[in-house]
Structure formats: C-alpha cells, structure tokens
Amino acid sequence: MPDTALIIMARYPQVGTTKTRLARTIGDKEAVLLYEAFLTDLAHKFAGQACDLLWAYTPAEVDYLSYLATLAPALIKHMHAFPQQGIDLGARLHHVFRWTHDRGYKDTIVIGSDSPHISLKTITQAQKALEMAGVVLGPADDGGYYLIAMRRPYDVFRGIPMSTSVVAQKTIELAASQGLKVHTLENMFDIDELPDLLRLAQLLETDSSLAPETATYLTTIKELV
C-alpha cells in the first residue's frame, strides 16, 4: 500500500444541487456536465500514480464508484471511495483525516473537486512539505484553500467559518495555537463563480493539457461563458 492517500472531496452531481452559483449563469444541466468534466480530469490525472486515489463523496447513499466507472472506466481499479461524515465541512474534513490515519496511511493530502487544473507537481510539493510541517495548505484566491495535507488528524477545523474569506487565515491561526508548523503552497483559484470559469477557460486556451475534458466541454458552451 502506498504511504500517501490523495483524497478528493466530491459530490454526486445532480441537477439543481451542483455548482449552483454557476448554474444561474450557464444552466443547471450545463453545470452538471461541467462538474463531470472536472471529475473526469481529476481521475485521469491522479489515478494510478504514486498515491492511493480515494474519493470522499456525498450524499452517502449513492454508489460513487459505479458512477466514477461511467466517467473513467479504465481507471476504476485504481480508485476507492468512502462517504463523507459530519454535520459541516470542517467535521467532514476532520473525519477524512481520521479515516486515512486509522487505515495506516503516513500522509494524507485532501483536495477539492473544483480545481481541475491542479497539477501532479502540486501534490508532490505537498507530500515533500509534510516532511517538515505539521500542516500544508494550498491557499485559494478567495481566502479558502484548495488543498490541506497532514500526517496526523489534527483538528484544525473546529470553529472555522467555512466558505468565507478567512478560512485559510483562521486555519493557520488554529494550527499555530496547537504548536503546528504550517507550510503554504502557491495560490490557486477554485471554480465557483462565472469570473472563475472565465479565468479557467482562458488558462485552458493556453494549455488544455491541464484539464483536457474540461477544456473540450468549455468549447461546447462557449456562448454561455
């Protein structure tokens, strides 16, 4: 078993509940298909690499691996999945770290599913940084973070106002209060609003290899973005 678990926090896409802020602009069905492109790109980028790829999914009642098999059938043997647990995002993140720690992983790296352009190099940098830091954060431009990595399930989530502009800052402060060294990676942007999608489209026009499935889908809805 590899020493490192790479966890992608993801949801089962459904019309009306997926990328709702974007859906107001591009449409509910289009938002679902865009999110599926994100998931497909992440699966192809990270499945079968040096880390174990696991999906922490919601809602808990779906058969997420069967769903992933429709997106990346050739890669399903390289992926595992387990349901998220917790009353809020902070609790769900903490549960993920406890879950992997209980199963013997030395390092756990957690990323969101809203940055299909995240690179394998970034994951490698996070893994390397864990040799010297208790917590590794990939700050997002909106004040949150697109990546968090730890070797132990430290509770750096309790009381943090998630989905606000102070998430990364408050997480760093909470980690420091526990005597944990925090290493930050380069900033990156998540895709939540139309300006983020426009930024991603521009990036992928320059280098579609960052997220080829997403790049292809964006060309089909170009008139909407």
Q: What is the mean pLDDT of each run of 10 residues along the chain (225 residues)?
A: 93 92 93 97 95 97 96 96 96 97 97 96 97 97 96 95 90 96 96 94 96 96 71
C-beta of residue 82 within 8 angstroms of C-beta of residue 35? no
Looking up tokens 């289009």 gives: 30
pTM for this one? 0.96
We find that the CATH architecture of domain 4-224 is: Alpha-Beta Complex (3.90)
Tokens standing for residue 219: 């060309």
Tell me what pLDDT residue 165 has: 87
109 strand-pairing partners: 6, 149
Count of C-beta atoms within a 10 Å radius of residue 111: 24
The 10s digit of each residue's pLDDT in 12-53 is 999 988 999 999 999 999 999 999 999 999 999 999 998 999
How far apart (Å, rounded) are the C-alpha atoms in residues 142 and 88? 19
H or E stretch including 56?
A: strand 52-58
Residue 203 phi, psi dihedral angles, 5° rounding: -65, -45
How many residues would you count in the chain?
225
